Amino acid sequence: MEKMRAVMKLEPGPGAVLGELPLPKPGPGEVLVKTEMMAICGTDVHFYEWNKWAETINVRWPMVLGHEFTGTVVEIGPGVRGVQIGDTVSGETHIPCGNCYHCLNGEQHICSNLITFGMQTPGCFAEYAVLPEVCAVKVDKGIDPAVRANFEPLGVAVHAVDKAGVGGNTVAIIGCGPIGLFSAAVARALGAARIFASDISAYRLDLARKIGVDYTLNPKETDLTEFVRAHTPFGVGVDVLLETSGNADAFMAGFQYLRKGGRVVAVGLASKPLQLEVGRDIAWKEATIIGIHGREMFKTWQQMEKLIAGGRLDITPLLTHTFQLKDYKEALETALSGQAGKVLLAP
């Protein structure tokens, strides 16, 4: 039986192993992809550490880590019509049922019966991966594979910034992890007038400057409310607040420098429940709060490919480290260190 290498967890608990699994076969409506490049997500780090969040997720054992990747279709299962052998694809994480209210109304990304590639199915930190045809999104082979491997997380940023309506507006981004940095790059591409980004990591703030953020702020050193109000027209605060850090205290503080009538886009998963003054922070401000879950299928994919192909969006300065699959431990530890942008794995 033909085998492949894969980074996986065999049981709950810290760590992961590089082992061998049988080469998977695509079933009806599925495709087999030979991986070309993979990217590490914060959720992969959570599973590697096996923290409290990871303990709450229903996963399939053995759990092959990873869900951000690109590669070439090498085999198709029965019933596959839209994808052919030889196509270059990137992986969409959301696996929709196709039959619920949301799927039938163009909202597959928030399907009522949604399952997730790399959690409820084996992931992509392997030499090959099987995924449903609907999740094998054909992309331009001419785009750098390191960029294609990041289409899934970049799509979160494109979705968030598009919903925020940043064109001609002032924008504050809380958190300069990969999604926050991607969001800053997309906000610049979509015409944000002025971008503020905050983080406590000097390394990540430096990355933010490299992609054109106007003001990079460390909340331990600068009063964000005072600074943002002093650097926005008429001292009213920002038009758009994007929360990507998952830090509940930082999120709540952001309402202090959101202008009246402004928009809040919630991307990060808060570390604890928020305690907001509904009158002061939302109602009397007429603030709009928008939640973001993944990417819109497939509007977001088309948007980001056009932005990249048109030369409007460049995320390469944020792709800071690349490791071989055999060096997965060093790669995951690097992602965990905070001294990295986006960390990649090559098979």
Question: 173-210, pLDDT tens digit by residue?
Answer: 999 999 999 999 999 999 999 999 999 999 999 999 99
Structure confidence at residue 53 (pLDDT)? 85
Which whole number is the average pLDDT over 273-288? 94
76's tokens: 């198709």
Mean model confidence pLDDT for the chain: 96
Structure confidence at residue 270 (pLDDT)? 84
Give dist(CA 318, CA 307) in Å, integer: 16
Catalytic residue among 46, 231, 293, 321: 46
Please state whether the peptide bond connecting residue 298 to the residue before it is cis, i.e. omega within 30 degrees of 0. yes
Is 161 buried (19+), middle (13-18) or exposed (0-12) by CB count in 10 A?
Answer: buried
Count how many residues are written for the chain: 347
> What is the value of pTM for the model shown?
0.96
Distances (CA, A) of 327 to 44, 110, 183, 284, 318: 15, 35, 29, 53, 20
Which of 238, 239, 213, 241 has its CA nearest to residue 227? 238
Kindly tell me if the per-residue pLDDT of 167 is higher than 90: yes
**Active site includes 43?**
yes
Structure confidence at residue 141 (pLDDT)? 95
Q: Which residues on neighbouring strands pair with residue 132, listed in sequence order?
A: 30
Helix (H, G, I), strand (E, B) or coil at 227: helix
Radius of gyration of the CA atoms of the chain, in A = 20
Question: 95-121, pLDDT tens digit by residue?
Answer: 999 999 999 999 999 999 999 999 999
Helices (H), the chain: 42-49, 52-55, 101-104, 145-148, 151-164, 178-189, 202-210, 224-230, 248-254, 299-309, 328-337
Which whole number is the average pLDDT over 241-270? 96
**Active site includes 293?**
no
Structure confidence at residue 269 (pLDDT)? 86
Kindly tell me if the per-residue pLDDT of 338 is higher than 90: no
Quote the Cα angle for 99-44-48, to 5°: 130
Catalytic residue among 43, 70, 216, 300: 43
Structure confidence at residue 341 (pLDDT)? 96
Which whole number is the average pLDDT over 252-258? 97
Distances (CA, A) of 146 to 7, 121, 150, 191, 209: 19, 23, 7, 25, 21
Structure confidence at residue 226 (pLDDT)? 98
Structure confidence at residue 289 (pLDDT)? 97
